[in-house]
Amino acid sequence: MTAVDAILASSFDDAASMVQQIGETVGVVAFAASGALIAVRRNLDIVGIVFLAVMTALGGGVIRDLLIGRTPPVAFTDFTFLVAAALTGLVIFFWHPPAALQRWPLEVTDAVGLGLFVVTGTAVGYQWGVAPPAAALLGLITGVGGGVIRDLLSGRIPAVLRTDEPLYAIPAFAGAVVTTTVMHFDWYRPWIGLSCAALITVVRLAAVKYSWHGPRPHYVGR
């Protein structure tokens, strides 16, 4: 590789890292908005709305960090995502978005956040020395953990367990497996991570659009 090629590759990786960071912030806002909207529907006050927004946005990452012994969790040392989630909850408290903004725009940003959180969670787990299968599970937990906390706190069956919810955990776990595989073979680069995140996002959005659901036992009526 020539010096020019090395510079171009480094610039490309830097750009990919920046896109990933921006995408993670978008994902935090989307997850926080979904938590805040559920809180509004449950008639919670401002504390409940902000709390549910923060827990939805950051809960998966906190669980991941505690499982790998990364204490205190990043959510309590880097306040960027915490502030973004709390502000999103406050925005929802003062301004309830119209129904049109609660559907596809929220689904798209949620899917983007899911993809990036899964890849980031998998990478963090792998870099902390856990085995590849465990790293994939940590990526899954990072992606879906906040939503599970949101649903449990709001008194609902978690969306990832419901048969009426389009594919969510399956594409997340598949993306985590791909991510940990490329890391195991030392092929991982920021742009590859973005590609894995994009794959998860596309499959999730296709599942929403075409109503793809996980398989159920053949003897259970639909």
Average pLDDT on 6-28 reads 62
Q: What is the pLDDT of residue 19?
A: 59
31-43 per-position pLDDT tens digit: 999 899 889 889 9
pLDDT digits (tens, 9 = 90+) for 86-126: 999 999 999 877 877 677 877 888 888 899 899 999 999 99
Percent of the chain scoring above 90 in pLDDT: 51
Tokens of 122: 């998998």
Which pLDDT belongs to residue 191? 83
Q: What is the pLDDT of residue 96?
A: 78
* Mean pLDDT value across the chain: 86
133-175 pLDDT per residue, tens: 999 999 999 999 999 999 999 898 998 888 888 999 999 999 9
Could you give the CA distance from residue 138 to residue 57 in angstroms, rounded to a whole number? Answer: 16
The DSSP secondary structure of 106-122, one letter per residue, reads HHHHHHHHHHHHHHHHH
Taking only Cα atoms into account, the Rg of the chain, rounded to an integer number of angstroms, comes to: 18
- Checking phi first, is residue 65 left (phi over 0); if not, alpha (psi -120 to 50) or beta? alpha
Q: Residue 13 pLDDT more than 90?
A: no
Query: What pLDDT does residue 159 have?
Result: 84
- The model's confidence at residue 15, banded by pLDDT at 50, 70 and 90, is low
Question: Which of 127-136, 183-192, 213-222 ranks highest by mean pLDDT?
Answer: 127-136
Q: pLDDT at position 12, please?
A: 45
Alpha-carbon gap, residue 28 to 131, rounded angstroms? 27
